[in-house]
Structure 1
Amino acid sequence: MTRFRHDLILRMIKLLDAVLVTIPFAMCWYLYYAKRVASPYYANGDYLVVALFFVLFIIFGRVYDAFLMSMQRISEIIYEQFLAAAVSDFIMYVVIWLLSKHLPNILPGVAALVGQVIMASIWAYNAHHAYFKTFPPQATAVIYDTRRGMERLIGKYGLDAKYKVVSTAMAGECIENLSMLDGINTVFLSGIHSHDRNIILKYCVENNITVFVVPRIGDTIMSGAHHMHMFHLPMLRVGRYNPQPEYLLVKRLLDIVISAIALVILSPIFLVTAIAIKATDHGPVFYKQIRLTKDGKEFGILKFRSMRVDAEKDGVARLSSGENDDRITPVGKIIRACRVDELPQLINILKGDLSIVGPRPERPEIAAQYCEEMPEFSLRLQAKAGLTGYAQVYGKYNTTPYDKLTMDLMYIAHPSIVEDFKIMFATVKILFMPESTEGVSEGQTTAMSGENS
């Protein structure tokens, strides 16, 4: 099957999903809300409202990766479809509220959401099974240098049904005999130096082989290069993080507006949490800790205290070892699981210490430890730290510091308000997903100090 036909079939299947999920909303609109808006809509107006939901669901479906039937487990697809539908329904509820000029009954909308989850579940189950019946596993090769174990990660994440690893080799072996890639559909390049990687990349592109590259720090920095012409030559201009003033202004305005609104809406949660912490051990409600932000500037980050008062009585900074850390209080376990302990950082955002989206603010002592092994770690400090960020959303608890650094630099390389919104909405997804507490697998490790960027 040609790649064009493969992509066309996938697009049609995803389009069918959007249509199926839109049906419950359309029924809800036509049978209830359309008759109760201030100026009833007819014909084209009704179509426009339904079309708006359809477009919103596709947008948020992409944000939450809800259409990746071949890359996710069925349960993950259903969860992501639920999030996409729920956010779209909420926006449409606000639209209907504005059209009605009074707060509309939410129950028909809830009923529509239930119907959407049912439709999404039916689609996810059938699309997932149909995909693997229609498309056989792709013959896959893993080429590595400093990072090994990619083939084990493929199996661990359930992707061996899509990528059948038939060959693994060191980069040097592959370069000496590039014909070993003949008949291969997909190649994973893991931790390979740029010279060797480029030779393999050119061969794969020439022979229509799909390539997945685990990037290095240098690759990530180069990805943000500005394309230009100089001396009648193509040129890439690379420099320190320096976004447009308009971007920084809009970003700061969004930080102020969103954090202020969130503080008002979440004030009852603040009150309940404060009472619970105080009642448990009579200690302070908040915990202030020195963190680093743009250009290494220090500030005091605010969090709800989730550990014992004497958690660091020896003065040594330590990362939490996870949910089994015996320093965490009973209330602390609950507020950490719900991410409520992070909410006071909204005050830091309002003050300007933090942004909503940016690299995670690290403690100076721990940052110094990372910099000893990985000097590039300081590159994260080009941008203001954030409450959430690319690495927090797409990484996991056991993602290595090197890989989290790469994710942060990917964000820094492409400053965009659209990307900030995508990360904000994607943060909702991880709020209800427990962080992995597994040890770092061999496939996830990397030589942090010896790896040339």
Structure 2
Amino acid sequence: MSKLQHDVMLRIARVLDIVLVTLPFAACWAFYYEQEVQISLTWMGNAVILLLYAVLFVMFGKVYDAFQVSIQRISELCYSQVLAAMAADGLIYIVICLMSAKVCNLLPGIAAIAGQCLAAVIWSYGAHKWYYAVFPPQPTAVVYGRRKEIEQLIQEYDLELKYNVRMTLNIGECLKDLSVLDSMKTVFLSGVNSHDRNVILKYCILHDIDVFVIPRVGDIIMSGAHQMHMFHLPMLRVGRYMANPEYLFIKRMLDIVLSLLALVVTSPIFLVTSIAVKSDGGPAFYKQVRLTKDGKTFEILKFRSMRVDAEKDGVARLSTGDKDDRITPVGHIIRKLRIDELPQLINILKGDLSICGPRPERPEIAAQYCEEMPEFALRLQAKAGLTGYAQVYGKYNTTPYDKLQMDLMYIAHPSVIEDLKIMLATIKVLFLPESTEGIDEGQTTAMKGGTE
């Protein structure tokens, strides 16, 4: 089956999904909310409302990867679908309330959500089974330089049904005879230097072979290059991070407005958590020196989740997650619910932090990373953030080198749209236990495998 047929069939499956999820809302609208609004709508007006819902669902679905049938587990598809539907429901409910000039009854909307959850489960299960029944696993090769773990990751993420790894070979073996790739449909390049990678890339494109490349730091920096012409030649201009003033202004305004709003909404949680944390006799808040743009230090504010003497020897240590015996009983709860991070809203309001940006590391930990990986300091080109690309798309125990690459991807392409996507995607990871896993003790030194 051709790639065009593959893509067309996937799009048909996604359209079916949009229809299935929109139907419960359509019923809810037709039988209840349409009578609540103060505007008399024609059939075209009703169609616009339904179209608006469908567009919102698609928008949130893309943010939450709700349509990635070929690479997501059924459980992940269901979770993403439900999140996208609920986010769309929330926004459309606000629109309905504005049109009705009152707060409308939520019960019909809750009934619609229940129907959408059922539709999401049916579609996710059916689409997943259909896809792998129709599209057999692709013959796949893994070509590695310094990183060899791709085959293991394919198994870990249950992607054997998508990629049938028939050979794993190092870059030297591959370059000796590129024809070994001729029977492949997909090639993964992992830890391969740019010269050798480009040789394989050109060969694969010539022979219609899909290529997935794990980038190096230099690749990511180049991805943010400004395209231009000079001397009648194509030119790429690369420089230190410097977002345009309009973006920085909008970003700061969003930080102020959203942090103020969040502080007001969460003020009861602040009060209850402060009392609970102080129950062991220690302070409610905890200050810690962190790094932000250009290496500037500031004191981050968090609810205390560890014992007061957690670092009595003065040595900075990363948390090992729930197994860390320094965490208090209350600390386990507020960490699991992410409540310990709420006081950072004050840091955002003050301007020490942004909502989106690279994770603010401790100077001692950053120094350890930089000893093994000097390019780790490149993260400090932008202001640190409460959430960010690495926090959303990585795990807590993702290697420092991979986190660096994710942060540099964010830095290379600054935009308000990307910030909004990260904010929305943060909601998804809040309830995933893997995002709060601890870091292995040996991981702080396991950084050199990906460096250049």
- Global fold match (TM > 0.5): yes
Aligned-residue offset at 1:319: 0.5
The CA distance in 2 between the partners of 1:417 and 1:130, in whole Å, is 37
Match of 1:226 in 2: 226
The aligned amino acid for 1:152 is Q
- Deviations along 1:355-388, one digit per CA (max 9) or x if unpaired, are 0000000000110000001000100000000000
Alpha-carbon distance in 2 for matches of 1:102, 1:245: 39
- Letter of the structure 2 residue corresponding to residue 78 of structure 1: C
How far did residue 451 of structure 1 move? 5.2
TM-score normalised per structure 2: 0.97
Q: Tell me how far apart the structure 1 counterparts of residues 444 and 316 of structure 2 sit (CA, whole Å).
A: 23
**Deviation readout 1:49-72 (Å, 9 max, x if unpaired):** 110000010010010001111211
C-alpha displacement of 1:44:
1.1
Q: 2:318 maps to which residue?
A: 319
SS at match of 1:142: strand
Equivalent position of 1:196 in the other structure: 196
Deviations 1:254-295 (A, max 9, x none): 00000000100111111111111112x021000000000000
Give the aligned length: 451
1:347 paired residue number: 346
Cα deviation for residue 449 of structure 1 reads: 3.9
The SS at the match of 2:287 is strand
SS at match of 1:136: coil
Deviation for aligned residue 1:39? 1.5
Deviating runs (4+, > 6 A) in structure 1? 444-447
Instruction: Quote the offset at 1:40 in angstroms.
Output: 2.7
Can you list the C-alpha shifts for 1:135-194, whole angstroms capped at 9, x where unaligned?
000000000010012111101110001100001111111111000000100000000000
- In structure 2, the partner of 1:333 is 332
8 Å Cα contact 2:320/2:439 also seen in 1: no
What secondary structure, in the 3-state scheme, does the structure 2 residue paired with 1:32 have? helix
Tell me the residue number matched to 2:111: 111
Residue 129 of structure 1: aligned partner = 129
Cα distance, 1:445 vs. partner?
Answer: 11
1:403 pairs with 2:432: no
* CA distance 1:438–1:207, change in 2 (3 Å): farther
Identity of aligned residues (%): 66
Give yes or no for the alignment of 1:239 onto 2:235.
Answer: no
Counterpart in 2 of 1:205?
A: 205
| The 10-residue stretch of structure 1 (56-65 or 269-278) with the greater mean CA deviation from structure 2 | 269-278
In structure 1, the residue matched to 2:151 is 151
Q: Give the CA deviation at 1:439.
A: 7.2
Partner of 1:55: 55
The CA deviation string for residues 2-54 of structure 1, in whole angstroms up to 9 with x for no partner, is 10110010011011101110000111111100111111322111111110000
Where does structure 1 lack aligned partners over 5 or more consecutive residues? none
RMSD: 1.6
Partners of 1:407 and 1:18 in 2: CA distance: 31
- Taking the aligned partners of 2:23 and 2:449, their CA distance within structure 1 comes to 55
Displacement of 1:446 in angstroms is: 10
- Contact 2:360/2:384 (CA < 8 Å) preserved in 1? yes
Change (3 A) 1:140 1:423: same
CA separation of 1:153 and 1:112: change in aligned 2, threshold 3 A? same
1:358 match: 357
Contact 1:255 1:355 in 2 (8 A): yes
| CA shift in 2, pair 1:255/1:84, >3 Å | same
1:164 paired residue number:
164
- Counterpart amino acid of residue 376 in structure 1: E
Structure 2 residues not aligned, in runs of 5+: none
Q: What letter matches 2:245 in structure 1?
A: P
Q: Tell me if the contact between 2:36 and 2:100 (Cα under 8 Å) persists in the aligned partners.
A: yes
Counterpart position of 2:20: 20
Counterparts of 1:229-308 in structure 2 under 5 Å? 229-279=229-279, 281-308=280-307
1:292–1:362 CA contact under 8 A, matched in 2: yes
Q: Residues 319 and 198 from structure 1, CA distance in 2 versus in 1: closer, same or farther, beyond 3 angstroms?
A: same
For residue 447 of structure 1, report the CA deviation from its aligned partner: 6.9
**How far apart, in 2, do the equivalents of 1:283 and 1:76 lie?**
40
Deviations for 1:69-118, whole angstroms, at most 9, x for unmatched residues? 12111111111001000100000011011101110111111111110000
Read off the aligned partner of 2:158 and give its amino acid letter: G
Q: In the aligned structure 2, how far is the partner of 1:435 from the partner of 1:343?
A: 20
Match of 2:429 in 1: 430
Q: Do the aligned partners of 2:53 and 2:92 also contact (CA within 8 Å) in 1?
A: yes
SS of aligned partner of 1:58: helix
Instruction: Write the letter of the residue equivalent to 2:281.
Output: H
The equivalent residue for 1:421 is 420
Supply the distance in 2 between the matched residues of 1:196 and 1:231 (Cα, whole angstroms): 29
- Separation of aligned partners in 2, 1:212 and 1:422: 23
8 Å Cα contact 1:147-1:445 kept in structure 2: no
Question: Closer, same or farther in 2 for the Cα pair 1:209/1:447, shift >3 Å?
Answer: farther
Q: Structure 1 residues 128, 449: CA separation in 2 closer, same or farther (over 3 Å shift)?
A: closer
Alpha-carbon distance in structure 2 between the residues aligned to 1:72 and 1:302: 36
